[in-house]
């Protein structure tokens, strides 16, 4: 065990928006024993604990009080799954998500390929039930192990326990900030199957004019290709991916909007709700490509807010001011409230919860 807790550590290298902020206390851990010791330290010194993975779904609006724990645990194990032709694979929380996707493909285990190239680590994937190209984490999720921050007790959560929904889970709601996820078990297929229902993927398949049968490896390749074309690389243009969730509105309200905007893309859901792409709403308000000092809306992707380091780099307050401008514009034109997808940390006035309505 080699627990080292440091003070006043810059979190700029630890967040994909490259926002400047400091952790009051910080440790980077690669073992569960160290994690339990760090949590005991936090309890003894009454420090609030914040878990940090790859930092790709955070807005640091200011410094983070208490202890920030960067979990760097590695490794995976597997056993036969409960269903025929399946394998249950357990990844440590600190494993990089995309690296895990590549590992499964190398092993001949299928199901993660549509989620290729999503930044971040395994431990954060259940927090917002990550999803892309027609697959969500919940589709392959079996269970997770976690430690309760307040007590240091180990516990496990089944899929039903996690209450997964669209970019949402128990860990964003009732269990918010209460657990650190240690590992995640996924059920994958040992038979190559592909899910190509998502329209952008279908288009990419058509464009690629593939003659041989489509393999999961090829699907992963195509997903990476689409993502590289559509999304700015955070290591070059700092960003947090989609900044807003796609809003769900009552289907009756969507019908009214469609009378005014017949070209509005809309995706009816089973529960009399309709999902409307946030990018379309933002684009319609003329925000795509705008800049406000060092922050801006990406010129090709209205859902991505960027921190322009060449303009001197932004702080979290500047980024949130731009987000507010977009939310105001969309509200005034469409009467739809956009909800911020990444988690906002370090607001001076914590009562100002900027994530929601």
Query: Which positions are annotated as active-site residues?
Result: 167, 242, 341
Q: What is the pairing mode between strands 343-345 and 58-60?
A: parallel
Q: How far apart are CA 341 and CA 304, in angstroms?
A: 11
Q: How far apart are CA 333 and CA 269, in angstroms?
A: 23
Q: How far apart are CA 257 and CA 238, in angstroms?
A: 34
Q: Is 114 in the site for ligand FAD (CB under 6 A)?
A: no
Binder to ligand FAD among 21, 39, 51, 302 (CB under 6 A)? 51
Chain Cα centroid distance, residue 355: 14
- Residue 212 Cβ vs ligand FAD, minimum distance, rounded to whole Å: 27
Nearer to ligand FAD by Cβ, of 121 and 274: the residue is 121
Q: What is the DSSP string of 4-34?
A: --EEEEE-GGGSTT----EEEEEEEE-SHHH
Q: Is 234 in the site for ligand FAD (CB under 6 A)?
A: yes
Q: Is 222 in the site for ligand FAD (CB under 6 A)?
A: no
Paired tokens of 310: 């060449």
Binder to ligand FAD among 39, 47, 67, 231 (CB under 6 A)? 231
Size of site (CB under 6 A) for ligand FAD: 32
Binder to ligand FAD among 38, 89, 93, 162 (CB under 6 A)? 93
Q: Is 27 in the site for ligand FAD (CB under 6 A)?
A: no
The window from 41-49, 51-59, 191-199, 203-211 that contacts ligand FAD (CB under 6 A) reads: 51-59
The window from 44-52, 158-166, 247-255, 294-302 that contacts ligand FAD (CB under 6 A) reads: 44-52
Q: Is 49 in the site for ligand FAD (CB under 6 A)?
A: no
Question: Three-state DSSP class for 78?
Answer: strand
Question: Three-state DSSP class for 329?
Answer: helix
Where b means 16+ CB within 10 Å and e means fewer, 298-308 reads beebbbbbbbb
Place of tokens 């920030």: 68
CB 278 within 8 A of CB 247: yes
- Residue 353 Cβ vs ligand FAD, minimum distance, rounded to whole Å: 14
Q: Is 56 in the site for ligand FAD (CB under 6 A)?
A: yes
Q: Is 169 in the site for ligand FAD (CB under 6 A)?
A: no
Paired tokens of 74: 């590695």
Q: Output the CA angle 70-184-190, nearest 5 degrees.
A: 135
- Residue 231 Cβ vs ligand FAD, minimum distance, rounded to whole Å: 5
User: Who contacts 24 (Cβ-Cβ below 8 Å, separation ≥6)?
Assistant: 7, 8, 47, 63, 64, 65, 66, 67, 68
Nearer to ligand FAD by Cβ, of 105 and 127: the residue is 127
- Residues 291-310: x/- map of binding to ligand FAD (CB under 6 A)? --------------------
Binder to ligand FAD among 29, 39, 89, 132 (CB under 6 A)? 132
- Residues in contact with ligand FAD by CB under 6 A are 16, 50-58, 71, 93, 118-121, 123-125, 127-128, 130-132, 180-181, 231, 234, 239-241, 343
């Amino acid at each position: 065990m080699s627990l080292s807790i440091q003070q006043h550590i810059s979190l700029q290298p630890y967040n994909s928006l490259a926002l400047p902020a400091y952790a009051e206390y910080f440790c980077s851990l690669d073992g569960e024993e160290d994690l339990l010791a760090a949590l005991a330290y936090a309890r003894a010194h009454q420090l609030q604990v914040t878990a940090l993975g790859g930092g790709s779904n955070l807005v640091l609006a200011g410094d983070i009080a208490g202890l920030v724990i960067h979990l760097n645990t590695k490794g995976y194990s597997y056993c036969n799954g409960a269903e025929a032709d399946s394998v249950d694979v357990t990844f440590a929380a600190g494993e990089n998500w995309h690296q895990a996707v590549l590992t499964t493909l190398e092993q001949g285990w299928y199901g993660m390929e549509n989620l290729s190239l999503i930044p971040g680590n395994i431990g954060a994937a259940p927090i917002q039930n990550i999803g892309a190209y027609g697959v969500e984490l919940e589709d392959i999720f079996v269970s997770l192990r976690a430690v309760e921050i307040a007590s240091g007790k180990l516990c496990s959560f089944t899929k039903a326990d996690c209450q997964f929904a669209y970019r949402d889970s128990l860990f964003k709601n009732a269990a918010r900030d209460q657990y650190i996820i240690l590992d995640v078990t996924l059920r994958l297929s040992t038979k190559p199957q592909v899910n190509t229902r998502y329209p952008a993927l279908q288009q990419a398949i058509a464009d690629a004019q593939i003659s041989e049968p489509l393999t999961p490896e090829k699907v992963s390749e195509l997903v990476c290709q689409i993502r590289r074309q559509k999304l700015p690389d955070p290591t070059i243009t700092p960003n947090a991916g989609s900044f807003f969730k796609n809003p769900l509105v009552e289907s009756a309200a969507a019908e009214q909007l469609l009378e005014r905007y017949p070209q509005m893309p809309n995706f009816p859901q089973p529960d009399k709700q309709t999902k409307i792409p946030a990018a379309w709403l933002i684009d319609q308000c003329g925000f795509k490509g705008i800049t406000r000092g060092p922050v801006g809306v990406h010129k090709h992707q209205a859902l991505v807010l960027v921190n322009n380091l060449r303009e001197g780099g932004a702080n979290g307050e500047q980024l949130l001011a731009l987000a507010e401008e977009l939310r105001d514009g969309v509200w005034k034109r469409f009467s739809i409230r956009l909800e911020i997808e990444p988690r906002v940390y370090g607001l001076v006035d914590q009562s100002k919860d900027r994530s929601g309505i």
